[in-house]
Amino acid sequence: MCLLARVDVSAHEFSALIQARKYAEAEQAAIARLAADPRDAGALIARAELIVTQGQENRLAEGVIFAEQCIAAHPLKSECHAVLGDVLGTKAMMGGLMSALGYATKIRDAYKKAVELDPGNLDARFSLLQYFQQAPGIVGGGSGKAQDLASDTAKINPDAGKLMQASIELADKELTKAEALALSANAMGNVTLLETQRTILVGVGSLYARDKKYADAQRVFSLIEKRYPESYWGAYGQGRVLQEQNRHQAALPFLERALAVQAQAIVHYRVGQSLQALGDKARAIAAFELALGFKPTLGKKMRSDAEDQIKALKG
């Protein structure tokens, strides 16, 4: 089980800084606010969100404390419960299967409480949907619960309901239906819906690529780049699709464009792979080293591979 935490994008005063990836500035502002008022909900939520957003595994226990302090000070505030689910979900994801099972019901209950306190909290609703889709039935997951939540959400927000149904179709590998539903939702003006729409389309493109339907994958990632120019995913996805076809020279401009939008460890890693395939050892080593030094870091498997490739390239 992989409980992937969604980052709460609730509209507190620090949200714009976090969304602009001005993490240090957001952290300092939140610290200053808490120095003046240790009970400030927005600042406590922001500090927990920043830990999750940056993948700071060594600070997750601290993130739990911020979320629990928020709940203690504001027990009826939906966002406090939602951010606790986010931090625990990240701990579960990074801790492996047994860790995930150990945290599962706490994650579910945090999101359910957030929805109960504010039925219009779409972040919490989508996080709860993800829980139902990923968690086994023994800890309260299941496709039936996911479908019930999607139906209930459609009554409150029809576009959110469409995106939930698209997520369900994606999980069932119904890629044509998932893509059509995602694109039919009007997400404009709502950060949560826009991010969810993009995430679903990324999932569609990735599965097309996995199934070697490269033309469809390229089409979807090209659409993502046009619709969400602030995200690296469109250019990165196109570069990765070309890599999968061993078209490394063609892939590099897309990967470099992705880095220009938002540098990521995974993009540096992919650049290293293409440069290595093209015989450019020096630049490949540099790219792999950038990937290893980047935060948030690569996953364990890719990190190990990058280290191995550096050794091989250096001879």
Instruction: Identify the structural domains of the chain with CATH numbers, from first to last.
Output: 1-141 (1.25.40.10), 142-182 (no CATH)
Is residue 219 pLDDT above 70, yes or no?
Answer: yes
Please check whether residue 208 is in contact with residue 216, taking contact to mean a CB–CB distance below 8 angstroms.
Answer: yes
Q: Which of 17, 13, 9 is nearest to 40 (CA)?
A: 13
CA distance 125 to 144: 15
Segment 90-116 shows an average pLDDT of: 85
Segment 167-184 shows an average pLDDT of: 98
Is residue 38 pLDDT above 90, yes or no?
Answer: yes
Mean of per-residue pLDDT scores for the chain:
93
> Which residues does 16 contact at the CB level (< 8 Å), separation at least 6?
none
In the three-class reduction of DSSP (H, G, I as helix; E, B as strand; rest coil), residue 203 is classed as: helix
Residue 299, pLDDT score: 85
pTM above 0.85, yes or no: yes
Residue 236, pLDDT score: 98
Band (pLDDT 50/70/90 cuts) for residue 252 is very high
* Percent over 70 (pLDDT), the chain: 94
Is residue 127 pLDDT above 60, yes or no?
Answer: yes
Lowest mean pLDDT across 144-153, 179-188, 298-307 = 298-307
Q: Which of 176, 196, 175 is nearest to 185 (CA)?
A: 196
Q: Which of 10, 183, 172 is nearest to 82 (CA)?
A: 10
Burial class (CB in 10 A: 0-12, 13-18, 19+), 289: middle
The per-residue DSSP string of 108-119 comes to HHHHHHHHHH-T
Residue 103, pLDDT score: 85
Residue 3, pLDDT score: 42
DSSP letter assigned to residue 262: -
